[in-house]
Amino acid sequence: EQKRVQRGSVGVFNEDIYLALRNEQLMCEHLRSAISNGELFLVYQPIINAQSGALYAVEALLRWQHEDTLIPPDVFIPLAERTGQMQDIGTWVLHRACIDAAQWQFAENVSVSVNVSVIQLLDDSFIETLERVLSSSGLAPEHLHLEITESVFARNKEKVVAQINAIKRHGVSVSIDDFGTGYSSLSQLQSLQCDYIKIDRSFVQNPEEGSDTIIRATMLIAQEFHCRTIAEGIETEAQATRLTDMGADLLQGYLYAKPLTNEHLLRWYNNTQQ
């Protein structure tokens, strides 16, 4: 006890910081070789048409299998962003997703939706990368959607809007992810030509009156800006019904499918869609 007190906040504090830094540095080094070691892979989660139940698109979600551990993207994407690795990883993701989608033969007109970090979006070479990936994969641009989280508008707004316009000029669609959780104001949305708004799962899964209000407001905004809406995190029939009744066009969540490997996606399609 005496020892603990004696080491006091200073000693323990430094040790914690040291361990955290060392851990971050180690993770950072391991992440740097993740692509070349083949440790990154994509899983695909179906997005369903709320009216017909047909497969509409799939969202590509990144996984890092490092030794025995599957590290979730919420952990390593922020690390990649902090340590200058997001461009390389993001390009790998875009390329992989487009190649996979270009080869899907199980369904016509299924789009792939790829998450794009603000670091990628604000990079001057992003549009060139997009052009290169589209031409090398052979994927039709209308079958690619890029998901951008709402919080990007807190950054360099003019640049973000210019990049989104350039993306759209290439025939690629844009979705605003995690809508309602970020900082965008209505006036910011006005200058933005998005195609889809993704209603965050926190509103979908929270049946309180407040989240109903936010969902209804989001539906009005989507209508006004001619965007379609995708409800994320649908786990129950009740949530599916609630969101469909409130006007969601598309639904995504464990009720339909968890994120699946490319191979399992085909199996899922054959089992559920035919």
Where on the chain is the footprint of Mg ion (CB under 5 A)?
115, 147, 177-178, 232
Which of ligand C2E, Mg ion, none sits in contact with 259, Cβ below 5 to 8 A by type?
A: ligand C2E
Which of Mg ion, ligand C2E, none sits in contact with 222, Cβ below 5 to 8 A by type?
A: none
Which of ligand C2E, Mg ion, none sits in contact with 61, Cβ below 5 to 8 A by type?
A: ligand C2E
From the CB of 1, what's the least distance to ligand C2E, in Å? Answer: 42
CA–CA separation, 30 and 7 (whole Å): 33
Residues contacting ligand C2E: total by CB under 6 A:
23
From the CB of 198, what's the least distance to Mg ion, in Å? Answer: 5
Q: Binder to ligand C2E among 93, 152, 167, 192 (CB under 6 A)?
A: 93
Which of Mg ion, ligand C2E, none sits in contact with 46, Cβ below 5 to 8 A by type?
A: none
**Both tokens of residue 262?**
């490319």
Residue closer to Mg ion, measured from CB, 130 or 177: 177
Per-residue 3-state assignment (H helix, E strand, C coil) for the chain: CHHHHHHHHHHHHHHHHHHHHHHHHHHHHHHHCCCCCCCEEEEEEEEEECCCCCEEEEEEEEEEEECCEEECHHHHHHHHHHCCCHHHHHHHHHHHHHHHHHHCCCCCCCEEEEEECHHHHCCCCHHHHHHHHHHHHCCCHHHEEEEEEHHHHHCCHHHHHHHHHHHHHCCCEEEEEEECCCCCCHHHHHCCCCCEEEECHHHHCCCCHHHHHHHHHHHHHHHHCCCEEEECCCCCHHHHHHHHHCCCCEECCCCCCCCECHHHHHHHHHHHCC
**Both tokens of residue 5?**
């007190």
Contact string (CB under 6 A) for ligand C2E, positions 102-141, x = contact: -------------xxx------------------------
Residue 178 contacts ligand C2E per CB under 6 A = yes
Name the segment binding ligand C2E (CB under 6 A); options: 155-163, 183-191, 213-221, 226-234.
226-234
Residue closer to Mg ion, measured from CB, 178 or 212: 178
Residue closer to ligand C2E, measured from CB, 19 or 206: 206
CA–CA separation, 42 and 118 (whole Å): 20
Q: Binder to ligand C2E among 148, 233, 249, 260 (CB under 6 A)?
A: 233
From the CB of 75, what's the least distance to Mg ion, in Å? Answer: 13
Where does this chain bind ligand C2E (CB under 6 A)? 45, 61-62, 72-74, 77, 93, 115-117, 147, 177-178, 201, 232-235, 252-254, 259
